[in-house]
Amino acid sequence: MDLAIKNGKVFNGIEVLGKTNIYVENGKIAKITNENLNANVEIDAKDMFVMPGLIDAHIHLSGIKGGSLLKIMFEKPEYRVLKASKWLEKLLISGFTTVRDCGEIVSLALKRAVNEGIIKGPKIIAAGKPITQTFGHGELSHDVPLEFSMSLSFSEFCDGVESCIHAARKVLRDGSDFIKIFATGGVLSQRDKPENPQLSFEEIRATVNEAEKVNTYVAAHAHGDKGARIAIEAGIKTLEHGTLLRDETLKLMVQKNVTLTPTLTIQELIYKYGKQIGVDEWGLQKINTVRESISNVVKKAKEYGVTIIAGTDLGFETGLEDIDIGKNWMEAILLVERGGLTPLEALRASTYNASLAIGSNSGLIDTGKDADIIIINGDPSENIKDIAKTISVIKDGKIVVENKKLL
């Protein structure tokens, strides 16, 4: 065996197995057993908690600082990608071995650089450019001239079925792993409201069809119930935010096997610190309603059996003590504190459930899975706040973080 992690209290992504040993060979988990076998490298995890590497299923690796997203239009991608590469190191140190970028062109280059070993970071599952309608959430500002918005915005535009087919194919051609669409207005875009539906059933259906042809799926940003429902009926697989969902829509999600990423972190951030970090005025005005509502939506989602996955929606550095890039475990804490999940449910949302939803081969400690494992000096299954106490990180069977230091 290449690597052994011995004597730790193991959570496999679904349940706590208790004290056992994990053996790794060729980057994969080879054996989980109480037997004491030899390995080239051995880690003694006595009194430690051992679990799959954390997954942030909704992030934007934009490389900007401060809460005004308009900077995405005004900072050059070459610069943003360099900044975001530093974010990746922080994410890895904090225990994240996989992130899903839900819309950001620079994430495609970052993904390639991580895969080729040029930079250090978690595995990236990337949407590339998200798809927006004209006068949609993906425009951020609706006051700038449309031509300006189309050329500098972070989104791909589509209006009408033909146009959506073309946009979907362009995004997939760029190398995207899945397609992200905006199915309602949002908080951080200027003049659209979270409750406004965006894109039609036909437009979304056509986009889903293009994704399915290459064996992938569509993730939909949706706050309002009406737009969310249209997107779910059109065949999307992961619903992002879902802040204003009604009970019937949550039940439909269970039927159609659509997951919910409540993104509590971004809402908490804008609610508590929006003004301080420079969120545009329109964002501050829209945050209260969605933040107020989501807490109840998560509790209902849990009751009906919707699969909940952890995603922060962090898209900029804040410089704050509690909510910032590299502290993305905040989502699990908020799922417990504001969403009413048990610590174990929040850990599942951050590992196995997220991996199933986003199409990742980690997130579960089982034979044949990628050996993406973290060691925590604490017990987050008892106290969720201990999820912030990662000391070592193993990615693809190699120790990449030891005693909180990047190797």
Between 50 and 59, CB nearer to Zn ion: 59
397/199 Cα distance (integer angstroms): 43
Q: How far apart are CA 233 and CA 327, in angstroms?
A: 35
**Binding pattern for the stretch 89-108 against Zn ion, x by CB under 5 A and - elsewhere:** -------------x------
CA 223 to chain centre: 16
Give least dist CB 92 to Zn ion, A.
21
Q: If binding means CB under 5 A, how many residues of this protein chain bind Zn ion?
A: 2
| 8 A C-beta contact, residue 228 and residue 251 | no
125: which 2 tokens?
């599952």
Give least dist CB 58 to Zn ion, A. Answer: 6
Residue 56 or residue 345: which is nearer to Zn ion going by CB? Answer: 56
Q: CB nearer to Zn ion: give 103 or 378.
A: 103
What is the C-alpha separation between 283 and 288, in angstroms, rounded? 10
Residues 102-161 that bind Zn ion (CB under 5 A): 102
| Interface with Zn ion in residues 336-365 (CB under 5 A) | none
Q: How far is the CB of 134 from Zn ion (least distance, A)?
A: 19
Task: Tell me how far, at minimum, the Cβ of 18 lies from Zn ion, in Å.
Answer: 37
Question: Which secondary-structure segment (H or E) carries 86?
Answer: helix 77-93
Q: Minimum distance from CB of 199 to Zn ion (Å)?
A: 16
**What's the rounded Cα separation, in Å, for the pair 105 and 87?**
16
Binding to Zn ion (CB under 5 A): which residues in 54-83? none
Alpha-carbon distance 311 to 293, whole Å? 17
- CA 390 to chain CA centroid, Å, is 19
Choosing from 313, 317, 324, 372, the residue that interacts with Zn ion (CB under 5 A) is 313
| 313 versus 317: smaller Cβ distance to Zn ion | 313
Nearest CB to Zn ion, comparing residues 135 and 316: 316
Instruction: Work out how close the CB of 57 gets to Zn ion at its nearest, in angstroms, rounded to a whole number.
Output: 11
Bridge partners (DSSP) listed for residue 126: 101
Sequence-distant contacts of 269-272: CB under 8 A, at least 24 apart: 269/67, 269/314, 269/318, 269/320, 269/323, 270/67, 270/187, 270/188, 272/323
The length of the chain, given as a count of residues: 407
For the CB of residue 66, give the shortest distance to Zn ion in the complex, in Å: 17
CB 76 → Zn ion: shortest distance, Å?
22
Between 314 and 332, name the residue whose CB sits nearer to Zn ion. Answer: 314
The answer to the question of residue 379 lying near Zn ion (CB under 5 A) is no
Q: Answer for the pair 362, 372: CB distance below 8 angstroms, yes or no.
A: yes
Residue whose beta carbon is closest to Zn ion: 313
- Comparing CB distances to Zn ion, the nearer of 101 and 372 is 101
Token output for 189: 């875009």
How many helices (H) and strands (E) would you count in the chain?
13, 18
With CB under 5 A as the contact rule, which of the stretches 170-178, 285-293, 308-316, 362-370 interacts with Zn ion? 308-316
Instruction: Give whichever of 140 and 376 is closer to Zn ion, judged by the CB atom.
Output: 140
**Footprint of Zn ion on this chain (CB under 5 A)?**
102, 313
